[in-house]
Structure 1
Amino acid sequence: MSGNLLITDVRLANGQQVDISIAGSRIEAIGPDLKREPGTTEEHGAGALVLPGFVEGHTHLDKTMWGMPWYRNAVGPKLTDRIENERRWRATSGHDAGAQSLALARAFLHVGTTRIRTHVDVDTDAGLRHLEGVLATREMLKGVMDLQVVAFPQSGLLKREGTAALLDRALAEGADVLGALDPASIDGDPVASLDTTFAIASRHRKPIDIHLHEPGETGARTMSLLLDRVEALDMQGQVVISHAFCLGELPEQARDALLERLARLRVALLTTAPPSVPVPPLKACVAAGVTIFAGNDGIRDAWTPYGSPDMLERAMFVGMRYDLRRDDALELAFDTVSGAAARGCGFADYGLTVGARADLVLLDAETVAHAVAARPPRKCVISHGRIVARNGAGVAQ
């Protein structure tokens, strides 16, 4: 459906009962008893809670086996084991990044996610094949979902000759963000790795999103080198550090010094809130003014059997990992998959405000905290001002 839409009888997070008027793809008005104009379609909310469309801040759509037969995982314990196993499997199985990314992106959309940042493997074995598949998905879903595509060197940047040139091509051919991976522990030379990464990003005027799994002091040194380059190259607000496990291991004084620099340089953090490794301290980050948001990482792939396209579930995992129990604390967990994620990824025109893009989710919950804890079915999903799903199933456009 297209045109104007009036959503009646819904509740905002503060409990206020309102109607929401949508003109084209934008929220035109929010308030009680809005007048229905001729030619406007009406959607009765029946007292549902209305939330902004969810944001997936870090996933790997190109890797997923969503909807495929079960993959028997027998990979070794090291990061390099997982990288090499996945590269072999994808090369020999004929895994189709285009078809699989489309299947998972639609699953995200049907339960309320309207914006996704996805990392896509670029390496000297596959070249840009995976990227081309995800770019096709981005084009197919244009108008109902925003996909930010990160060109990601999963096998490292310096270890495999030709990777830098492939990343250069990936950005020229449509990738939105430049990825990077563990400059010290994978590439073995954090200075050269970061210099190459920032040079490519600067040449294309693209932001950076780096996977930083490096622990403790090693991770802290890499992070400090990265922040030096952000400052020197005036790239404030253009860099995300994903995972940042080191921030969960450092002494408080060293940690807080890095948080101060992160906030000053507007470098955001991404966490998947994993249960088994250190994580950046959520409340300390927020108190320091650092944007921290959440994502799934891989979903049902050669790395992990876990994951789900339901971002309320991810918000629940954030709440569990950080021991968030009060209602206001669970609202913070929801912010990691909504407002904070939109800020961290640079998604514009986001939120439940007049003038924002009309990406909305209606569900039966009393409060935001209730929605995170119970994860009720999505009665209706609206993206770009159009109803795109009901009760978890897509609606024909």
Structure 2
Amino acid sequence: MTTMTRALHLFNVRMADGQRVSVSVADDHIEALGPQAAAPAGTIVEDGGGALLLPGFVEGHTHIDKSNWGRPWYRNEVGPLLTDRISNEREWRRTSGHDAAAQSLALSRAFVQAGTTRLRTHVDVDTDARLRNLEGVLATRQTMRDVLDMQIVAFPQSGMLVRPGTVELFASALAEGADVLGALDPALIDGDPVASLNATFALAERSRKPIDIHLHEPGAVGAFTLKLLLDRVEALGMQGQVVVSHAFCLGALPERERDALLDRIAHLRVALLTSAPPSRTVPPLKICRDKGITMFGGNDGIRDTWSPYGVPDMLERAMLIGLRYDLRRDDDLALAFDCVSEAAARGCGFADYGLRVGARADLVLVDAQTVAHAVVARPKRRLVVANGRIVARDGELVDVA
């Protein structure tokens, strides 16, 4: 990596409210943001051409270690069950020569090119691959460290308890550099939600790490697991340290039962993640927000053995969130964008985020009239600044490893 730009001045750019401003960047942070002003001496100057200024995007949930991005098309003939997909993926990764380091780097570069500057990725750890996938993504994080703030979740894609030795591997993964402890469907995958959640929370408590759990379990089963999880959050004082990803059950429960769970989720400051899939029930976005719950967005997998869909563009994910939740008004589409910006930074715990003085200088310029227009049109990124440094121009990476 080359030395980052030390000083940068963007002028003739517009805020979401239409105000024309200039932005002064010193080292890696926003030093000034306000009415048009002359550039400080010795500063690199960029004319924004009246473009819309947005904060760098946040990918709240993806799996960069397992992507097939940039490789030949994968012919998907996997069975319909979750266990079919897990077994198929494990075998494919074992026999195909899939390289988590190369693939995670390719996808990370594509994310940055499209304006993502913060990213949380789940990385498979199991008794077959052991820590190999984690080591590949750790190498990518090191390579991209100047331009992409990456959180790594150690994820038990094959289950925590059903494969003996997994808990010990996860302790090693957290010691080696994983930031967050993952979990997966304690009832339907591990077959014992009490024991599975006990093991997960005990490890989180020992390692002092937050938790991000995949909860695909439907209806009453999912609600039962969620209640057990919330009991442990409360008992261990882990308020504000847990994310429940997907939480499909919250879109299928009777209103009274759902709202009782949402009230507890809000009280315990548990955040919710949605990829807004069209084929599954989803937590109610506006009701969650009205209750004070942080709910944010992510792509989930991108071009992997699970699904051929997905692109590393958070404006497209915001659009898909808007479509799934029938968001049509401009102010509603601003909520969709919030799911991949402020709310995602808050849910993942990314610090110093946003368009404000003192925040890390992560900026995106797009030719759009409003935030809603940007979400719907998804224009080429005119300029991307990450950590105070220009990393993409006119949709192409510049000076990035």
TM bucket (normalised to shorter chain) is: over 0.9
Normalised TM-score (structure 1): 0.99
SS in 1 for 2:317: helix
Matching of residue 367 in structure 1 with residue 370 in structure 2:
yes
Equivalent in 186, 190, 193 of residue 190 of structure 1: 193
Preserved contact between residue 64 and residue 301 of structure 1 (Cα < 8 Å) = yes
Preserved contact between residue 21 and residue 34 of structure 1 (Cα < 8 Å) = no
Deviation at 1:32, TM superposition (A): 1.6
Q: Which amino acid is the alignment partner of residue 260 of structure 1?
A: D
CA RMSD of aligned residues (A): 0.6
- What is the count of residue pairs matched by the alignment? 397
Equivalent residue number for residue 90 of structure 2? 87
SS in 2 for 1:148: strand
Structure 2: runs of 5+ lacking an equivalent: none
Deviation at 1:34, TM superposition (A): 1.7
Q: Which amino acid is the alignment partner of residue 30 of structure 1?
A: L
Equivalent in 106, 109, 134 of residue 106 of structure 1: 109
The separation in 2 between residues aligned to 1:49 and 1:206, in whole angstroms, is: 37
SS in 1 for 2:50: strand
Matching of residue 201 in structure 1 with residue 204 in structure 2:
yes
Deviation at 1:33, TM superposition (A): 2.3
Matching of residue 297 in structure 1 with residue 273 in structure 2:
no
Q: Which amino acid is the alignment partner of residue 77 of structure 2?
A: A
The separation in 1 between residues aligned to 2:169 and 2:119, in whole angstroms, is: 23
Equivalent residue number for residue 329 of structure 1? 332
The separation in 2 between residues aligned to 1:54 and 1:206, in whole angstroms, is: 24
Structure 1: runs of 5+ lacking an equivalent: none
The separation in 1 between residues aligned to 2:304 and 2:177, in whole angstroms, is: 25
More displaced stretch, 24-33 vs 224-233: 24-33
The separation in 2 between residues aligned to 1:134 and 1:32, in whole angstroms, is: 41
5 Å-filtered alignment, 1:1-397, equals 1-396=4-399
The separation in 2 between residues aligned to 1:189 and 1:392, in whole angstroms, is: 48
Q: Deviations over 1:50-106 (max 9, x none)?
A: 000000000000000100000000000000000000000000111100000000000
The separation in 2 between residues aligned to 1:284 and 1:113, in whole angstroms, is: 27
Runs (4 or more) in structure 1 with deviation over 6 Å come to none
Deviation at 1:391, TM superposition (A): 1.7
Deviation at 1:35, TM superposition (A): 2.6
Q: Which amino acid is the alignment partner of residue 74 of structure 2?
A: Y
The separation in 1 between residues aligned to 2:246 and 2:396, in whole angstroms, is: 32
Q: Deviations over 1:290-334 (max 9, x none)?
A: 100000000000100000000000000000000000000000000
Percent same amino acid at aligned positions? Answer: 71
The separation in 2 between residues aligned to 1:143 and 1:239, in whole angstroms, is: 27
Deviation at 1:118, TM superposition (A): 0.2
Normalised TM-score (structure 2): 0.98
The separation in 2 between residues aligned to 1:221 and 1:33, in whole angstroms, is: 55
Preserved contact between residue 20 and residue 36 of structure 2 (Cα < 8 Å) = no
Q: Which amino acid is the alignment partner of residue 349 of structure 2?
A: G
Deviation at 1:197, TM superposition (A): 0.2
SS in 1 for 2:87: helix
Deviation at 1:231, TM superposition (A): 0.5
The separation in 2 between residues aligned to 1:374 and 1:350, in whole angstroms, is: 24
Deviation at 1:13, TM superposition (A): 0.5
Deviation at 1:143, TM superposition (A): 1.3
Q: Which amino acid is the alignment partner of residue 305 of structure 2?
A: A
Preserved contact between residue 120 and residue 149 of structure 1 (Cα < 8 Å) = yes
Q: Deviations over 1:261-298 (max 9, x none)?
A: 11111100000000011000001100111100000000
